Structure 1
């Protein structure tokens, strides 16, 4: 897979809305969705892949066949990256991961209240509220993609720790403003 960072597009919001309908038909009762990742941050360049978080009460409630029928292929990724120096129980990073067979999209299914479920939402909201941080993050992604367009592992080996640095500021910001999980998108 070649890494290409594109200029922001209004279409990303519209594509999320279309994907949401298919996902919610397959989702277990009580589940809800958020548009996450770079395509969810207005004005931020990104890979043309929509990242979506489906929050569920329990990963055991996920019907893999229902998501397959909705056009999503299960992938072997079952945990998220854990920040260095943060001791987390394995459950705090567990997820189910699907890739759309149609419009490029990643579906991250995470349990309500877990570290990884909060992490993606807080980071998104922090970057939405801090354009300088979002711009610096965009520049890092663009330069990585320019220098290593064919090396997806290297791209994430650098990008994930950069997010951990961003999250240090995001956690402080969350405490200062009393941030809490936003309603479903």
Structure 2
């Protein structure tokens, strides 16, 4: 859930090229703060897919060897990032497995973003990369997903309600993404570079 300073009705915008620029700047800030803790910093979510409509909130995945709540929270708090407190921002089920994660909001007044700290090699880390890469590769899926989100945002401007409705549709999308991954031999890029 957003912190009070982040609250706004859901709006899904046409793709903006500056999202990639914003990601690169944020990745640099996060990389400096996390140092060797960050195995990779990936641009994920809808803003990472050229041509895809999205909320104006950059999603960033930081891949780490193992989540250490105290270390990662301390390093990010030192540059103003706030750990989201909700239970679903600490664990998620992906591929039938419970996976740990941490999610951070930006400093007050900073560019809207979500920083997802996930462990390298885990199903939830793979999920974020597959979502991005599938929608980058499949124009029809990208167009349909963007149109769905824009229609949904126009009728359901509350973020919690929007998310509840979008979740089962995401499962359908990801079933198609898994079929695409099998067909093409897709594998996540190794966590060796900062970018995405």
Pair in the same fold by TM > 0.5: yes
Deviations 1:37-76 (Å, cap 9, x if unpaired)?
1100001111110000000000027431210122311111
Deviates more, 1:151-160 or 1:21-30: 21-30
Residue number in structure 2 paired with 1:3: 10
Contact 1:55 1:111 in 2 (8 A): yes
Residue number in structure 1 paired with 2:127: 119
Moved over 6 A (4+): none
Contact 1:59 1:95 in 2 (8 A): yes
5+ residue gaps, structure 1, are none
- Whole-angstrom distance in 1 between the partners of 2:96 and 2:59: 26
- Whole-angstrom distance in 2 between the partners of 1:14 and 1:87: 34
- Whole-angstrom distance in 1 between the partners of 2:138 and 2:96: 28
TM, length-normalised to structure 1: 0.90
- Give the secondary-structure state (helix, strand or coil) at the position aligned to 2:134: helix
Does residue 71 in structure 1 map to residue 80 in structure 2? yes
Residue number in structure 2 paired with 1:172: 179
- Give the secondary-structure state (helix, strand or coil) at the position aligned to 1:96: strand
- Give the secondary-structure state (helix, strand or coil) at the position aligned to 1:54: strand
- Whole-angstrom distance in 1 between the partners of 2:73 and 2:168: 31
Residue number in structure 2 paired with 1:142: 150
- Whole-angstrom distance in 2 between the partners of 1:165 and 1:156: 15
- Whole-angstrom distance in 2 between the partners of 1:53 and 1:14: 16
1:87 Cα deviation after fit: 3.2
Deviates more, 1:111-120 or 1:70-79: 70-79
Give the 5 Å matches for 1:87-106. 87-88=96-97, 90=98, 93-101=99-107, 102-106=110-114
1:28 Cα deviation after fit: 5.1
5+ residue gaps, structure 2, are 1-7
Q: Considering only aligned residues, what root-mean-square deviation do their CA atoms show, in Å?
A: 1.6
Instruction: Give aligned pairs, total.
Output: 178
